[in-house]
Amino acid sequence: MLSKTIEAALNKQIRIEAESSQIYLAMAVWAEVKGLEGVSMFMYDQSNEERDHMLKLVKFVNERGGHALISDLSAPNVTFNSFKEMFEKLLEHEVMVSASINELVHTSLQEKDYATHNFLQWYVSEQIEEEATARTILDKINMIGDDKGGLYLFDRDIQQLTVIT
């Protein structure tokens, strides 16, 4: 059985994952409109993954006798000045998510909820990978700069990037 504190903390994370999914969906749509097919496909995948992260939490809360909260979400940014800015925002967001997961892990230990602590380890590893992917992408974009040909190749190559699940 979840304590009220843990239930509330997990529900907060459910909302963050749902917002992540919307944020990345908005990025996918923007990239698609801008004609970068590869980036857009990558972002649609990221959006789906975030929804899976959310559902995993929903199931866990309900299985442990809690009530997963499906709440309203903040509206995401729908336009960006550049792809560089878009991926900077993505990295910034993932760093925020990692901090939130860390906080949750801390709370689970304080509450002596070892089942939740164990469950959260998957998210800890996931965040390491997602931050690394975002940093790799940003490094590439920084190398490309304003080169249109480079952006074209990047768009093609990003489809090859291992999509982290």
- Whether 100 contacts 115, CB under 8 Å: no
Q: Does 53 bind ligand OFO (CB under 6 A)?
A: yes
Q: Does 123 bind ligand OFO (CB under 6 A)?
A: yes
Q: Which residue among 26, 97, 120, 137 contacts ligand OFO (CB under 6 A)?
A: 97
> Which token pair is 142?
């920084």
CA distance 6 to 110: 10
Q: Does 130 bind ligand OFO (CB under 6 A)?
A: yes
Task: Report the residue number, 38 or 53, with the smaller CB distance to ligand OFO.
Answer: 53
Question: Does 17 show up as a binding residue in the annotation?
Answer: yes
Task: Report the residue number, 53 or 87, with the smaller CB distance to ligand OFO.
Answer: 53
By CB atoms closer than 10 A (0-12, 13-18, 19+), residue 50 is: buried
- Whether 10 contacts 3, CB under 8 Å: no
Q: Does 17 bind ligand OFO (CB under 6 A)?
A: yes
Q: How many residues bind ligand OFO (CB under 6 A)?
A: 10
CB of 53 to ligand OFO, least distance (A): 4
CB of 150 to ligand OFO, least distance (A): 26
CB of 44 to ligand OFO, least distance (A): 14
Tell which positions 75-94 bind ligand OFO, by CB under 6 A: 94
CA distance 130 to 122: 12
Q: Does 20 bind ligand OFO (CB under 6 A)?
A: yes
> Which token pair is 110?
């304080």
CA distance 98 to 34: 29
- List helix spans (H) across 34-82: 37-63
